[in-house]
A and B are shown apart, each in its own frame.
Chain A
Amino acid sequence: MTHHDTTLVERLAGVVPGSPIDRAWRARAEARRFAEDAYRRLLHPQDPGPISLVERRAVAAFVAVLNGEGRTRDHLLALLRETDPTLVPLARLIEREAEDSSHPGPYGSFPAGPLSAEDLDGPVYAVSYPVQHELGLRLSAALEYAHLVTLHPRDATPDSLAALAKAGWTNGGIALLVDIIGFVNFQSRVVAGLRSSIAARQPHLAVI
């Protein structure tokens, strides 16, 4: 695999080369390489296969906005816009849909029993008819699934996959879709965690 001088995580987290956090992060070379390779493989694919580049980046941007980590959000919204100049309105719509449906997570229900005391209510996202008209059935179903798996994954059922299949998703596409959702959840957390670690070492700097 290629040697990565700096990875997306370092750029978004603002890791200063040679700093203690940089050394600690780079010491985990395997995880670091895995993260960068996943970013390339999922969001800069050489062959998009069963899920188009626009779909990949639209879902990634949506999940990033739901997760609320500012740098990851800005980067993935920009990546969607840069895919094609005509996508600026789509990026704006994705951003608005995610903002309007966001809710602190994780929430959801357990099967009835001792864990029911831990059930937490939260919104079930359903794309409105006018928005569905703009996004199309395929991307609408993908965003609904991305919202579920990001914010209340314990509510997932076979019906969640059936809804994707009904909207035209193949199994191969679904497998890539859930990997993209998982990856952005990972990315948002690594960046949030490392940024906090870095900020804690510089108490005189405001955390933005």
Chain B
Amino acid sequence: MPDRPVAFTLDTPAWVPWPGIGAEVEALLTTVPDTSLIAPGPKPGGLPQGERALAAAAVARSLGCRHLTTAEARQAVTALKRDREVEVLLEEGIPCPLTGRLGAVISAAGALARSPAILSAGSLQRLQDDKLDDQEITDLILSAALTSWTARITLGLGRPSDP
């Protein structure tokens, strides 16, 4: 490992597979899930895209995947325009000191990133208090679970390609 400071930032480190496994990973990456699978259907509603990305970033941050954390955090910043809150997640990680709706989303996603994953009655109550409905909570669960899958592929097969 290089002995340079490493932190979670909004500067996307690209991802490169470990030496020797490139071709097989290319094939695998075509079937890897991502949070676009939670696209809203014909009906309106559901967790806004920025909050889906924020939940995904919280999971990737918790697992230690800098590539996915950055990619999702950038989407969250673009969609939410809440740069400071996203930076707090990047800097502080899980548990995250943020309050309010974004804090509730991050906290629940962080709990789902754990093994064993737990969405406690208290977490659910906090989400409901912050006006998340059943569809939004279901989307949050999906976003966290899909990222739990994808981040294990990126961490298990490669590393961020820092300069």
User: What is the size category of the interface that chain B forms with chain A?
Assistant: 35 or more
The answer to whether B150 touches A108 (Cβ under 8 A) is no
The answer to whether A154 touches B117 (Cβ under 8 A) is no
Q: How far is the CB of A85 from chain B (nearest CB, A)?
A: 30
CA distance A66 to B145 in the complex (A): 16
The answer to whether A197 touches B119 (Cβ under 8 A) is yes
**Beyond A171-B24, A186-B149, A192-B117, is A153–B37 a contact (Cβ under 8 Å)?**
no
B156 at the interface (CB under 8 A from A): yes
Q: Which of B1, B38, B134 is within 8 Å of A31, CB to CB?
A: B38
A24 at the interface (CB under 8 A from B): yes
Chain A residues, CB < 8 A from B121: 196, 199-200
Q: Which of A27, A156, A182, A192 is within 8 Å of B149, CB to CB?
A: A182
CA distance A30 to B40 in the complex (A): 10
Q: How far is the CB of A160 from chain B (nearest CB, A)?
A: 7
Chain A residues, CB < 8 A from B148: 182, 185-186, 189
A contact set with B: CB distance below 8 Å: 20-21, 23-25, 27-31, 34, 38, 66-69, 104-106, 108, 110-115, 118, 145, 148-151, 153-154, 156-158, 160-161, 165, 171-172, 174-176, 178-179, 181-183, 185-190, 192-194, 196-197, 199-200
CA distance A172 to B135 in the complex (A): 37
Chain B residues, CB < 8 A from A115: 6-8
Q: How far is the CB of B59 from chain A (nearest CB, A)?
A: 9
Chain B residues, CB < 8 A from A175: 21, 24-25, 27-28, 157
The answer to whether A178 touches B152 (Cβ under 8 A) is yes
Q: Which of A23, A153, A171, A183 is within 8 Å of B156, CB to CB?
A: A153
A-B pairs, top 8 by smallest CB distance, nearest first, are A154-B64, A193-B141, A68-B116, A105-B115, A189-B145, A182-B149, A186-B149, A113-B5
The answer to whether B145 touches A190 (Cβ under 8 A) is yes
Q: How far is the CB of B132 from chain A (nearest CB, A)?
A: 11
The answer to whether A31 touches B3 (Cβ under 8 A) is no
CA distance A200 to B64 in the complex (A): 30
The answer to whether B144 touches A193 (Cβ under 8 A) is yes
Chain B residues, CB < 8 A from A105: 114-115
In chain B, what residue has the closest Cβ to A152?
Answer: B64
25 contacts between A and B (CB under 8 A): A27-B41, A28-B38, A28-B41, A30-B39, A67-B115, A69-B117, A105-B115, A106-B63, A108-B64, A113-B5, A149-B156, A153-B152, A154-B65, A171-B20, A179-B31, A179-B32, A182-B153, A185-B148, A186-B148, A189-B141, A190-B142, A192-B116, A192-B119, A197-B124, A200-B124
CA distance A156 to B159 in the complex (A): 9
